[in-house]
Amino acid sequence: MDNMTDSQTNETELMRRLALGEMDALSEIAKKYQNRVLSLAYRFLNDWSKSEDIAQETFIRIYKAAGTYKPQARFNTWLYRIVVNLCLDEQRKQAKAPISIEETMYNGASDSESSSIERKETIEIVKKAINELPERQKLAVILHRYENLSYDQICEVTQWSKSAVESLLVRAYANLREKLKKIENNIK
Amino acid sequence: MKCLNDIEIMEFISDKLDAERKAEVQEHLASCSECSQRVQESSTLWDTLGQWEVDIASHNIADKVIAKIEKSESTRKHPKFFARHEFLMDALKIAASIIIAIGIGQKLGKISAGEKPPAIASNQESPEYIAALGLDWAGDFTWLVMEEDSSSQENE
Ligand SMILES: [Zn+2]
């Protein structure tokens, strides 16, 4: 949190260079933020190929917006807002179209390996529990738990009210606690 | 200090409270077993959720994005190419009409040089002025003269 201001100054400078057409600046931004964008999109959508598309689209939008970028909003927040909107759009598209077998198979071979069977089972249960949450609870909890955003930052990114985010997070964690109770007992 | 609410507990566990608030919470936890219990439970949940890591090492977004942008920038330049092309087409049209004019000039030149006017196709009635110009009806440049004629009639 302490170097947030330094980082913001740096990002403002990168955006200024990008506005002048320096593609190196975009490359730097993409390298710095791609992991955050991809992990958020993947946890939310469970699909690497769609998450890649979203990540690419995010940085293309940043490139297009460089000329009009105003550093008032924290760069981080602004970037997450783009990703969140793209994810919600994609989720709504997916809700209309049935998922193909190919996509489901592609999803299977993805998460970090090198884990014991028990750990793998835990991860599968965690994934399932999160994916079963209602859309907004899912998004709030991913931003809070995995992207490490504070509850205030989640409000800024989603533009939902404080009371809405608070209630979403409380319900999401309560739901997850319920769903995961079994495995928590097994781990102990 | 009163007991912690659910959000405060999550913010405490994820270390997002400022130093002052964090100290207050720790002080409270030292004297409240109920909140300590809740913090303990939430902390376990936090750790369990944390086991879901995603491996992103194999992705290289930066290069793909830059390649995409450069590709779309080069297609955006196409209209300029077409504009230049259009100019070229205009130049070609002018050149073609000069060649045609020369062609007509030659035909007319032949007549004035006293050559015998070419025969008129027997099965077609030729407008008199076409014959007078010494052009073949349905021949080389007749359409051109006819076209000129019809357009000048429209103007009247
Ligand atoms: Zn208490």
Cα-to-centroid distance, A168 and ligand 1 (Å):
22
Q: What confidence score (pLDDT) does residue A170 get?
A: 95
pTM of the model: 0.70
Q: State whether residue A53 sits within 8 Å of chain B by CB.
A: no
Closest in A30, A112, A173 to B45, CB measured: A173
Q: What confidence score (pLDDT) does residue A116 get?
A: 76
Q: What confidence score (pLDDT) does residue B152 get?
A: 42
B142 vs B101 pLDDT, higher one: B101
Choose from A173-177, B112-116, B121-125, B148-152 the range with maximum mean pLDDT: A173-177
Interface test with A, best of B51, B64, B71, B73 (most A CBs within 10 A): B51
- Residue of chain B with shortest Cα separation from A151: B11
* Chain-centroid distance, C-alpha B71: 11
Mean pLDDT of chain A: 86
Here the ipTM equals: 0.83
Percent of the residues in chain B that have a pLDDT greater than 90, as a whole number:
38
Q: Classify domain A1-96 by CATH number.
A: 1.10.1740.10
Mean pLDDT is lowest, of A140-149, B8-17, B143-152, for: B143-152
Mean pLDDT is lowest, of A8-17, A74-83, B53-62, B132-141, for: B132-141
Residue B75 has pLDDT above 60, yes or no: yes
Q: What confidence score (pLDDT) does residue B143 get?
A: 42
- Residue of chain B with shortest Cα separation from A175: B45
- Which CATH architecture best describes the domain A99-188? Orthogonal Bundle (1.10)
Domain ranges of chain B: 6-49, 82-155
Domain ranges of chain A: 1-96, 99-188
Mean pLDDT is lowest, of A80-94, A100-114, B90-104, for: A100-114
Question: Strand, coil or helix: what is B109?
Answer: helix
Q: What confidence score (pLDDT) does residue A187 get?
A: 58
Residue carrying structure tokens 């309560």: A174
CA B59 to each of CA A49, A107, B71: distance values in angstroms, whole numbers, following the listed order: 10, 15, 20
Closest listed residue to residue A58, CA positions, set A39, A18, A85, A32: A85
Tokens in use for A60?
């293309």
pLDDT in tens, A50-81: 999 999 999 999 999 998 888 777 898 999 99
Percent of the residues in chain A that have a pLDDT greater than 90, as a whole number:
64
Q: Which of residues 61-120 of A touch B (CB under 8 A)?
A: 63, 110-113, 119
